[in-house]
Amino acid sequence: MFEIFGIPSQALFGQLLIGLINGSFYALLSLGLAVIFGMLNIINFTHGAQYMLGAFIAFFLLHYAGLNYWAALVIAPIVVGLTGILVERVLLQWLYKLDHLYGLLLTFGLALIIEGVFRNFFGSSGLPYRVPDSLQGGQNLGFMFLPNYRAWVIVLSLIVCFATWYLIERTRLGAYLRAATENPTLVRAFGINVPRMITLTYGFGVGLAALAGVMAAPIYNVSPQMGADLIIVVFAVVVIGGMGSIMGAIVTGFGLGIIEGLTKVFFPEASNTVIFVIMAIVLLIRPAGLFGRRT
Amino acid sequence: MNQAVSMHVASQSARSRSETAAFLLMVAFLVVAPSVIYPLFLMKVLCFALFACAFNLLLGYVGLLSFGHALYFGWASYVSAHAAKVWGLTPELAILAGAATATVLGVIAGSLAIRRQGIYFAMITLALAQMMYFFAIQAPFTHGEDGIQAVPRGRLFGLISLADPMAMYAVVVVIFLACFMLIYRIIYSPFGEVLKAIRENEPRAISLGYKTDRYKLVAFVLSATLAGVAGGTKAIVFQLASLTDVYWAMSGEVVLMTLVGGLGTVFGPAVGAFVIIAMQNYLAAFGQWVMVIQGSIFVACVMLFRRGIVGEIANLLRIKL
């Protein structure tokens, strides 16, 4: 035990860890939002509900199908991704030609429907989800105790974030994707099926949200409203980072998580609001966001 | 040229004729209604109708989607409730105090939010509203989860007791109609024409020399202030200010009311408020299903009838409403 700025190291590093965990989820979710926004020009309000769906699917798989966490990690994103593809084909694709706001309103309505159904069956209280056996316990690092599961969440989300970055910025598929974001008509003229790419992008983005949901299930309880408040914070993260850059979304997500964790140590009353305050400051000095291009 | 002018005048008089008729119909309804419908329900509808009209001023006529209008509604209701209960102000002064709070908040949030366009605008207003929601949880004068309860209705101008439901109803009707006419006046003023120009094509309005940011900010503050009047009135009528009023779900509700009634129509938001409040009242027993139904209405409105109830009627009869 030692002290930093009069704060016991245990408390400081403990909150830093929580900050990193929150940051992992901010990064994963804002990444999905940014990818979807890039292709569909729609801000996906259902993202929080799809994150919650991921957690619930993990819960169902464990309790009704006997499939463990590792299976859920694969199955939940696929299931949610497929429902996302269905949503895109049936509803969203008719809105691209209209004002942005209709996409927002539609996805907000969908979020209300999903959250309402789950609240109806599961109430507002959380359901516990066990940490998988292989990730029980933790490491004593000398200055703090690091639970294995939390370390896993941080590592996995870093891997997923950078894999996504690599996919979009460094592969041929990603190049098509970026080209279609810039000028869909021209890319279609080259014989690339842009509408299908848009559909798959939406499926991929919401799949990321579901993956985050499965990862969150053992840390926070599984509850119907777990996504609703989180998504608003993620919106603020997106405003701060700007949606133009994948790396920007990742860095902003983790950075804000850490800042939020530190605020909990030094000024706990402001921990709920610090991200919004940062957003206001960023808007004052850099209206386009930290990594954004002026639109 | 002359022909164009005369056609313009003709369409304007047609507009004012259908709108005047609808306005008189609405006033007649408000006079007759309390003998048929429970006054407290009507007052709730009127508060939300005013809230939705204020919101529509921004979304329908400037094209700015604020997803955080609960901020002005809720904080005005807190301040009005506090003013009436703790400071002992008369109801009209309490409502004014609430509206003034909403104005100040509108200036701050508005000047931040108009720095970004489109979808970011919605996200910023939502995030700022959520921030003030957390302040409302922590601030001591709001009493957290309990809210400010047992707010006295008091005496209007220190003279007329508002404990009588009909007296209270009359006051709410007057406030609603006054604000409604103010909004109508704004929409058809030269200022309102510039707002519509910004909605249709902002770069073009800029190129014509309009400082669009100033127009947007003034419209934003007007909308926030009127939402504040609605919130303050609601606090006095129901003698309660609570966290529900500042939560994001409330912001969603006012969007829904406006969308159901008809975006950018004069009467749409009021009709939408009536429909949604009535639905909530009759379906209250179904618990969380109300949320599902509201979500479904959202989806149905966006996919199938984007004009809303009043917009569809106006389109069918080829009149302006």
The span from the CA of B85 to the CA of B151, in Å, is: 5
Write out chain B's pLDDT in tens, 321 residues. 344 444 444 455 555 788 888 999 999 998 888 888 888 999 999 999 999 999 999 999 999 999 999 999 999 999 999 999 899 889 999 999 999 999 999 999 999 999 888 888 998 999 999 999 999 998 888 888 888 888 888 888 878 888 888 889 999 999 999 999 999 999 999 999 999 999 999 999 999 999 999 999 999 999 999 999 999 999 999 999 999 999 998 999 999 999 999 998 999 999 999 999 999 888 878 777 888 999 999 999 999 988 999 988 888 888 878
CB of B283 within 8 Å of any CB in chain A?
no
Alpha carbons A225 and B146: distance in angstroms, whole number: 21
B309 in Cβ contact with B255 (< 8 Å): no
Q: Do A283 and B288 touch (CB under 8 A)?
A: no
Chain A residues touching residue B248 (CB < 8 angstroms):
228, 232
Give phi and psi for A192, each to the nearest 5: -100, 135
A15 Cβ contact list (under 8 Å, min separation 6):
A261, A262, A264, A265
Q: Would you call B291 and A119 a contact, using CB atoms and an 8 Å cutoff?
A: yes
Chain A hits for B288, CB-CB cut-off 8 Å, are 116-117, 119-120
* Cβ separation B128–A100 shorter than 8 A: no
- Alpha helix positions (H), B262-303: 268-282, 289-303
Residue of A nearest to B252 (CA): A108
Contacts with A58 (C-beta within 8 Å, 6 or more apart), sequence order: A69, A72, A73, A76, A129, A213, A214, A217, A222
Task: List the domain boundaries for chain B.
Answer: 39-248
Residues in Cβ contact with B32 at an 8 Å cutoff, skipping those fewer than 6 apart: none
DSSP A21-88: HHHHHHHHHHHHHHHHHHHH----TTHHHHHHHHHHHHHHHHHHS---HHHHHHHHHHHHHHHHHHHH
Cross-chain Cβ contact A284/B112 below 8 Å: yes
- Per-residue confidence (pLDDT) for residue A4, from 0 to 100: 66
A276–chain B Cβ distance below 8 A for any pair: yes
Give the nearest chain A residue to B256 (CA atoms): A105
Distance CA A10, CA A16 (A): 10
Q: Considering only CB atoms, which chain B residues are within 8 Å of A110?
A: 295, 298-299
* Residue found by looking up tokens 């509803």 in the block: A91
- Asked if A279 has any chain B CB less than 8 Å from its own CB, the reply is yes
The CATH architecture one would assign to domain A9-119+148-285 is Orthogonal Bundle (1.10)
Residues from chain B that touch A94, judged by Cβ atoms under 8 A, are: 303
Q: Tell me what the mean pLDDT of segment A155-166 comes to.
A: 94
Name the nearest CA neighbour of A147 among A129, A134, A135, A164.
A135
Distance, CA of A216 to CA of A218 (rounded, Å): 6
Which of chain B's residues have a Cβ under 8 Å away from the Cβ of A37? 119
Looking at CA atoms only, how far is residue A221 from chain B in angstroms?
20
Handedness of CA B284, B288, B292, B298 (dihedral sign): positive
B292 and A120 within 8 Å at the Cβ level: the answer is yes
CA angle B89, B91, B97 (to 5 degrees): 70
Residue boundaries of the structural domains of chain A? 9-119+148-285
List A residues 251-270 in contact with B (Cβ-Cβ < 8 A). 269
Nearest Cα neighbor of B314 from B66, B60, B63, B31 is: B60
Which residues in chain A have their CB less than 8 angstroms from residue B299's CB? 91, 106, 109-110, 113
ipTM: 0.87
Phi, psi of A145 (to 5 degrees): -100, 125
Using CA atoms of B89, B95, B100, B103 in order, give the dihedral in degrees to the nearest 10: 160
Nearest to A269 among B118, B138, B306 (CB): B138
Q: Decide the pairing of beta strands B160-161 and B155-156.
A: antiparallel
Q: Closest Cα of chain B to A49: distance in Å?
A: 12
**What count of other Cβ atoms lies within 10 Å of the Cβ of residue B315?**
13
Quick one: three-class SS letters along B187-230?
HCCHHHHHHHHHHHCHHHHHHCCCCHHHHHHHHHHHHHHHHHHH
Please write the tens of the pLDDT for every residue from A200-250: 999 999 999 999 999 999 998 899 989 988 999 999 898 898 877 888 889
Identify which of A100, A273, A284 has the shortest CB distance to residue B118.
A100
Contacts of B122 in chain A (CB under 8 A): 43, 101, 104
Residues of A in contact with B303 (CB under 8 A): 91, 94, 106
In whole angstroms, give the CA distance from residue A291 to residue A275. 16
CB B136 within 8 Å of CB B246: yes
Measured in degrees and rounded to the nearest 5, phi and psi for residue B155 equal -115, 130
